[in-house]
Amino acid sequence: MSVKEIEVDELETVLSGGARLIDVREVGEYQSGHVPGAVLIPLGTVPDRVADFDGDGPTYIICKTGARSMRAAEFLAERGLDVVNVAGGTMAWMRSGRTIVDGDQPS
């Protein structure tokens, strides 16, 4: 199944409009630095938390480089959810010079 994908420039734009972003990395990775506003749902818990990805408009999914988030996005898209993978992941966000936050809270 084909999953939509966006670059971090587009992500910044949709986030400023209130889009939902879910980070599927592990807890330690997330706490070490994540995109502001990203909510943590580790990849291994995605099958049990499908309802958390459902909502008005697409849910954007991010990980470290875009591979795990693509797996999550494919899984969710197969279940009819509107999801978009962030190409390059958190590393691309950081390489672009954008701010990250640490800790266990989205912002």
Q: Of these residues, 21, 63, 77, 86, which one is catalytic?
A: 63
| 63 catalytically annotated | yes
Dihedral pair phi/psi, residue 84, rounded to 5°: -135, 130
60: which 2 tokens? 């954007």
C-beta neighbour count of 69 within 10 angstroms: 28
Catalytic annotation, residues? 63
